[in-house]
């Protein structure tokens, strides 16, 4: 017996047609090697050939250029200033202080922005690494036990895990599962070690199966996995393809409910694309987690759409074949039957800032890092904040580790009580703690967008801080000071800032213009719905003013903004995305 799931009559298991070009380049890549090594030697250009431009993603890098200066360079007939963004692999977001000091130094010495950027998927990025420094970067990471394998491209990405420092035993076990899942689903090709770490190629024969899980053509599209510990859905599981919800008894992990097929991205004007919540397949004992993970990944590998990349993610496969059929296939491949889901409840998302004491007696400090950008800010709205120096000083004395959260924040975890006062002082002196940060600011998030993201249609990271100033003033005016709305901005509909799980989600449409979505819930189990299209800042603020005034006057006791806008009939609830989201 297991949960009911939708069925589709006469499902199309394999989408026929001409495959997307990415399929050719993966097939020809000799297991992700391509001609990256040759390209690296070519100093006539700072960039990579079109095929390698795609392939380096599977090694954790994206080719970029600074869009603020792109037009000026074009005018001067110069090639764009090509560089790479690196995204590290950090299952569960844990990084030790030795590793931190190494990445801090690399960011200073070899990146053009000098920052460490914490991401919405519990890791960090360097922006602006020039070609001659790429190998050094990987060797630096390797020297402290880090890598960037499979943090991008058509593979399983960084595996997330709830940052729960308080229940240390449960967290430790969940974190170990996140690490095991990451290793299990990692590409097995040795391309990364050969290209970046100068390791010898080990010859293989035709009979060797190089990629038993991912296959020689890897996955049809990116794939995302989480381990989440209720009641905190801080990792926003519905943004992910495969989720293991930790079920515990007496503080001990016994197994997982498995949720499949979440994802947030869409394309403006293409109603065949939409954000979608994951389906609950049922419960499995923890020992079966790796087998189930492999079965879900291989089913998506074989049934995912390789013709149209816009419909290639697991969420579309589930809607095409029916979640019921997908689960049956997973059961057959893993040789396991899902049991009924075990009860659990998510009550919130986000991080709990400040100090908490763990059951192990250690202290943990969660720092709010606006936009996840760790930098010593020389000018602008954060002028004087020495976040990067502050983190370095903490890393020098801290005996525990750091945990990056999926909300672009950072936990100084496992602090010995004797060091608490010193760490607090360093954090305050460098602007890492401020008593002035409002609940609204702590509930707001934005993706990177300009100047580094090539896909940005509107500002996000650079826009959010000022927008929050205005929203704070509006809330205060409407007698809502101290209250907050989950507000997220993404520079385009890919949704990296997870606006598609926000109570107010702003999605970039063009310079200074956003689509406005309303109505996700606090626990992150409902996607919002379009409210206004292509609106500018003045309209956005006027709408937030009018809506929050109504919320203030008409809400039921304790009713969250996202629930209110649905109950008040301001937007309709999205129950089934494929049916309701664009309706």
Residues that bind ligand SF4 (CB under 6 A): 447-449, 453, 455-456, 460, 490-492, 494-496
Task: Give the count of beta carbons closer than 10 Å to the beta carbon of residue 578.
Answer: 17
Q: Is residue 158 involved in binding ligand SRM (CB under 6 A)?
A: yes
| Contact of residue 364 among ligand SRM, ligand SF4, none (CB under 5-8 Å per partner type) | none
Should residue 488 be labelled a site residue for ligand SRM when binding is judged by CB under 6 A?
A: no
- Asked if residue 496 belongs to a known ligand binding site, the reply is yes
Q: Residues 115, 123, 257, 366: which binds ligand SRM (CB under 6 A)?
A: 123
Eight-state DSSP code of residue 66? -
Instruction: List binders of ligand SRM among 211-270 (CB under 6 A).
Output: 222, 224, 236, 239, 263-265
313 touches ligand SRM (CB under 6 A)? yes
Return the bridge partners of 86, or none: 61, 126
The answer to whether 534 touches 543, Cβ cutoff 8 Å, is no
For residues 161 and 235, is the Cβ–Cβ distance under 8 A?
Answer: yes
553's CB contacts (< 8 A; 6+ apart) are: none
Nearer to ligand SRM, 265 or 547 (CB): 265
Please list, in sequence order, all residues whose beta carbon lies within 8 angstroms of the beta carbon of residue 469, skipping any fewer than 6 positions away.
Answer: none
DSSP three-state, residue 201: coil
Q: 426 phi and psi, to 5 degrees?
A: -60, -45
277 is in an annotated binding site: no
Q: How far is Cα 490 from Cα 493, in angstroms, rounded to an integer?
A: 7
Q: Which residue among the candidates 26, 117, 224, 362 is catalytic per the annotation?
A: 224
**To 10 degrees, what angle do helices 97-110 and 387-397 make?**
150
Q: Is 224 a catalytic residue?
A: yes
Partner from ligand SF4, ligand SRM, none binding residue 491, C-beta < 5-8 Å depending on class: ligand SF4
496 noted as active-site residue: yes
Cβ closer to ligand SF4: 170 or 447? 447
Q: Closest CB to ligand SF4 among 232 and 515? A: 515
Concerning whether 373 is annotated as a catalytic residue, the answer is no
Query: Minimum distance from CB of 528 to ligand SRM (Å)?
Result: 14
Taking alpha carbons only, the member of 531, 503, 386 closest to residue 440 is 503
- Tell the smallest beta-carbon distance from residue 583 to ligand SRM (Å): 21
From CA 9, how far away is CA 573, in angstroms rounded? Answer: 26
The CB-of-391 to ligand SRM minimum distance in angstroms stands at: 17
Please check whether residue 447 is in contact with residue 489, taking contact to mean a CB–CB distance below 8 angstroms: yes
Binding partner of 467, given ligand SRM, ligand SF4, none, CB within 5-8 angstroms per partner class: none
Partner from ligand SF4, ligand SRM, none binding residue 492, C-beta < 5-8 Å depending on class:
ligand SF4
Query: Are the C-beta atoms of 65 and 450 separated by less than 8 Å?
Result: no
Interface with ligand SRM, residue 494, by CB under 6 A = yes
Q: In what order do the strands lie in the sheet with 124-129?
A: 61-64, 83-87, 124-129, 116-118, 373-374
Look up 277 and say whether it is catalytic: no
385 is catalytic: no
The two most distant CA atoms of the chain are separated, in Å, by 72
In the residue annotation, 492 being an active-site residue is answered as: yes
Total chain residues near ligand SRM (CB under 6 A): 33
Catalytic residues: 87, 157, 222, 224, 447, 453, 492, 496
Q: List, as residue ranges, the binding site.
A: 447, 453, 492, 496
């Amino acid at each position: 017996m297991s949960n009911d799931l939708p069925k589709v009559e006469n499902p199309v298991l394999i989408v026929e047609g001409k495959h997307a070009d990415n399929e050719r380049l993966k097939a020809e890549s000799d297991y992700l090697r391509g001609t990256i090594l040759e390209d690296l030697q070519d100093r006539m250009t700072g960039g990579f050939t079109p095929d390698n431009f795609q392939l380096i993603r599977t090694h954790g890098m994206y080719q970029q250029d600074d869009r603020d200066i792109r037009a000026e360079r074009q005018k001067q007939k110069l090639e764009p200033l090509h560089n790479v963004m690196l995204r590290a692999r950090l299952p569960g977001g844990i990084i030790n202080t030795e590793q931190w000091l190494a990445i801090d130094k690399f960011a200073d010495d070899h990146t053009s922005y000098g920052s460490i950027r914490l991401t919405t998927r519990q890791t960090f990025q360097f922006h602006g690494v020039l070609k001659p420094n790429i190998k050094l970067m990987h060797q630096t990471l390797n020297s402290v036990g880090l890598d960037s394998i499979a943090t991008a491209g058509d593979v399983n990405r960084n595996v997330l895990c709830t940052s729960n420092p308080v229940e240390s035993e449960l967290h430790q076990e969940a974190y170990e599962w996140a690490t095991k899942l990451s290793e299990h689903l990692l590409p097995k090709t040795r391309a990364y070690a050969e290209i970046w770490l100068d390791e010898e190629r080990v010859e293989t024969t035709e009979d060797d199966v190089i990629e038993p899980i991912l296959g020689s053509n890897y996955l049809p599209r990116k794939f995302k996995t989480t381990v989440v510990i209720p009641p905190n859905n801080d990792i926003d599981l519905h943004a992910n393809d495969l989720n293991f919800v930790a079920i515990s008894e007496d503080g001990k992990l016994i197994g997982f409910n498995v949720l499949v097929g979440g994802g947030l991205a869409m394309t403006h004007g293409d109603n065949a694309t939409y954000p979608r919540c994951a389906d609950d397949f049922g419960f499995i004992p923890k020992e079966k987690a790796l087998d189930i993970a492999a079965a879900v990944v291989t089913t998506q590998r074989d049934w995912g759409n390789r013709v149209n990349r816009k419909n290639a993610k697991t969420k579309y496969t589930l809607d095409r074949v029916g979640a019921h059929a997908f689960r049956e296939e997973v059961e057959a491949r893993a040789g396991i039957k899902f049991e009924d889901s075990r009860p659990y409840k998510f009550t919130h998302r986000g991080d709990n800032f400040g100090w908490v004491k763990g059951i192990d007696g250690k202290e943990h400090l969660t720092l709010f890092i606006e936009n996840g950008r760790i930098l010593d800010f020389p000018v602008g709205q954060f002028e004087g904040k020495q976040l990067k120096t502050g983190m370095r000083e903490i890393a020098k004395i801290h005996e525990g580790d750091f945990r990056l959260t999926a909300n672009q924040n950072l936990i100084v975890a496992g602090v010995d009580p004797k060091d608490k006062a010193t760490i607090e002082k360093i954090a305050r002196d460098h602007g890492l703690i401020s008593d002035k940060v409002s609940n609204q600011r702590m509930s707001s998030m934005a993706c990177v967008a300009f100047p580094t993201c090539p896909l940005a249609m509107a500002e996000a990271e650079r826009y959010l801080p000022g927008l929050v100033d205005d929203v704070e003033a509006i809330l205060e005016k409407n007698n809502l000071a101290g209250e907050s709305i989950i507000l997220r901005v993404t520079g385009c509909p890919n949704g990296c800032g997870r606006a598609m799980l926000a109570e107010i989600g702003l999605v970039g449409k063009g310079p200074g213009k956003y689509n406005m979505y309303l109505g996700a819930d606090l626990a992150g189990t409902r996607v919002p719905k379009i409210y206004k299209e292509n609106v500018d800042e003045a309209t956005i603020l006027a709408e937030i003013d009018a809506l929050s005034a109504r919320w203030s006057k008409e809400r039921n006791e304790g009713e969250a903004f996202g629930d209110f806008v649905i109950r008040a009939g301001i937007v309709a609830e999205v129950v089934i995305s494929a049916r309701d989201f664009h309706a």
